[in-house]
Amino acid sequence: SEGFEICTVDHSKGGKVRLDATITYSDQCEVDPDSDLMDDAPRACSTMVYAHKHEDFDHDKWFQAYVPQSGDGCYVMNPDGTLNDTDDIDFSNPEQVCWWHMKDGAVLGVHNGMIIEYDATTLAPLGMVVSRDELMDRRVAVIDDQWGGSALVLYNDGDNDVTVVQPNEDGSYWRKVVRNKMHRMKEMRRMSAAKKWMKGLRSVDEDPKVLSSYGPYTTTAGQVMGLSTRAINPKA
């Protein structure tokens, strides 16, 4: 049988490769005896997925999320208004589960005391939208944005403040709190090249200080004249 493996490269351990899961395809497809074998409909083959245990998983810091299933009884049909409008629905409770569609097609859900975004096609978890501390003791509502779409808002019972959970510019909601490792690796290569070039330019043995200038946005203002792209020393 053929298949593939899912591995993780641990850079903190010198590039050690960790085997996380093995996916093996079945030798043959399961055929429904009642189906029409003459049609061209695709037939799914069974697979076996084996998750390998490892020492890094022996802690509670891993991101885990409920995976919605059609007909699981947790789906909120046509959400309109407050989702946890009664005290017996506590979204800060890790066992509380529900999920729904926004009007733009995004799939959001509550699990483990957080709001999670799921892939609209596979319903696989994409990432965290609202953290536990922000969701604690908050009401969650899906309202009409008055432009044909919907908006996700959070509010408290004790005041008149409301928080709009804004989607990202690409339409997704999950917060990309970890920078892409490939981009970071390329940045480090450029910084190393700049350091080497500067040492050659000055003909000195002392390592120069290398800073990086990043973009793109630091404000919601619609102009750039008052902005600065000057590099900032993160250790200062």
Instruction: Determine what percent of the chain is predicted with pLDDT higher than 90.
Output: 33
User: Rounded to whole angstroms, how far apart are CA atoms 23 and 98?
Assistant: 29
Q: Which long-range contacts (CB under 8 A, 24 or more apart) does 126-131 make?
A: 126/172, 126/174, 127/63, 127/174, 127/175, 127/176, 128/63, 128/174, 128/175, 128/177, 129/165, 129/173, 129/174, 129/175, 130/154, 130/165
Average confidence (pLDDT) over 188-210: 90
pLDDT at res. 37: 47
Provide the edge-to-edge strand list for the sheet that holds 16-25.
3-10, 16-25, 47-51
- 210-228 confidence digits (pLDDT tens): 988 876 665 555 555 565 5
Residue 92, Ramachandran bin (φ over 0: left; ψ between -120 and 50: alpha; else beta): alpha
- 79-113 confidence digits (pLDDT tens): 999 999 988 888 888 888 899 999 999 999 998 88
- 30-72 confidence digits (pLDDT tens): 555 555 545 555 555 556 666 677 776 655 555 555 667 776 7
Q: Which of 67-71, 114-118, 184-188 has the lowest mean pLDDT?
A: 67-71
Residue for token pair 């903190």? 12
pLDDT at res. 138: 92
- 134-177 confidence digits (pLDDT tens): 999 999 999 999 999 999 999 999 899 999 999 998 999 998 87
Is the model more confident about 145 or about 5?
Answer: 145
